Amino acid sequence: MVTQFPDTTGVSYVDHIEIEINQSIDKLIFRLNQRRVHLLAKLRDMREEMRADLVSRQEMEEKLVDAREPVGMVAKMEDSLTELHINSPPQELRLICDTNEIENAILSLGEIDKQEILPILHLPVIPNYAGFRKQVAFGKEGSGPGDLNRPRGVAIDPVSGHIYVADILNSRIQIFSQTGDHLNIFGSGDLEQPWGILIHQDNIYVTDIQHHAIFQFNLPGLLMRKRFGERGGDNESFMHPRQLTISPNQQLCVADQYNNRLVYLATNLDYISLLRHETMKEPVDVKFTNKEVFVLCKLMFVTHPCIHVFTYTGEKTRSLITRGSDIGTLFERAFFFCLDECNNIVINDYQIKVFSPEGDLLHTIGQHRVANGIAILNNSKLVCASQDSHFGIQIYST
């Protein structure tokens, strides 16, 4: 737009002033028109953004409606459920039922893939323990690479899936693939009688019942970073530390057997606190749920093992695997257990035995001479250590 201004030659002073005023008015109108055009363009852009946002919100609402429908369908599968409850905090929908029934029900929802549904529902399911069979076995008795001599604790690297085994009488940790291939050895010269293993982030923690200490190794290089503890009963000592685990608040928790306590450490092995209870006699393994602490106690030569359940603050809520008949028929020599995603208790005894969180025997799997460490991978595989002279490590799955 071009504005034409009149010729001002040969005019009076008043006329000149009037012309300047008119010019100023024209300039103002010109600028106002420019601003108006800019504002209109901006309003058009805002309107398009609002329209796109509205369409997006409508699409999201439609997706939510579609998502709510299968959630409602799953929640109504009363015939498939044996238990439906919500834990809070964090809120988590837990469906405890037969694995095949749940998978079939989710697949029947139609176009929505079950891999998308399960994370949305935070839906843990019980592994199909009834279908578990021994799939892989390896680790003959001996002292060479890949040989085992009384293997104890086992741990699974959640990233690589490699299996770490405490080879107690060979004073080392060995690493295997899930097909039984021998991969590496570390800890020789540092460890004397390694027992429990924990892999957390880029660290490997190992308990040693001869040194009465915890050893920290770095995961990539397998070099020792730190040692904590010695024989004794003070806050920086142990008497046969057995298994260890990581708590929900990212603290190490060690079952200190003959001091009858749990010891909490920071991940750099600095001492934090203790947990004791009058019924916590000779704890050998410990696991956490989002509400409770499960402690396996031995009390050797006096009674059979028992699992006691405590709150995080140390108040005992119940004892498990003690109801019904002689508890010796339930498990006799267990030193290790693990929890699946539904908090079912999986114990490695002369058989692998699966109990509900309330202590009901659900399944038995396999048969071992003397069983030791046990770990679960992706809720679908059980890795077990035993004193079998031919197969120290056995892997069960469907």
Q: What are the tens digits of pLDDT across the range 210-255?
A: 999 999 999 877 888 899 999 999 999 999 999 999 999 999 999 9
Residue position matching structure tokens 């603050």: 313
Q: Specify the CATH number of the domain 129-397.
A: 2.120.10.30
Query: What are the tens digits of pLDDT across the range 345-373?
Result: 999 887 888 988 888 888 889 877 677 89
Report whether 173 contacts 165 (CB < 8 A).
Answer: yes
- Establish how many alpha carbons lie within 13 A of residue 204's alpha carbon, considering only the half-sphere containing its beta carbon: 30
Arithmetic mean of pLDDT, 22-35: 76
Report whether 257 contacts 282 (CB < 8 A).
Answer: yes
Residues 6+ apart with CB under 8 A from 4: none
Q: Give the containing element (helix H, strand E) for 397.
A: strand 393-397
Report whether 269 contacts 216 (CB < 8 A).
Answer: yes
Domain boundaries, the chain: 1-72, 77-125, 129-397
- Residue 60 — very low, low, confident or very high, per pLDDT cuts 50/70/90? low
Query: What are the tens digits of pLDDT across the range 182-218?
Result: 999 999 999 999 999 999 999 999 999 999 999 999 9
With helix as H, strand as E and coil as C, how does 56-113 read? HHHHHHHHHHHHHHHHHHHHCCHHHEEEEEEECCCCEEEEEECHHHHHHHHHCCCCCC
Count of helix runs (H) and strand runs (E) in the chain: 3, 26
The DSSP string of 8-33 is: -TT--HHHHHHHHHHHHHHHHHHHHH
Whole-prediction pTM: 0.69
Arithmetic mean of pLDDT, 274-296: 94
User: 174 pairs with which residues across the strands?
Assistant: 165, 185
* pLDDT the model gives residue 358: 86
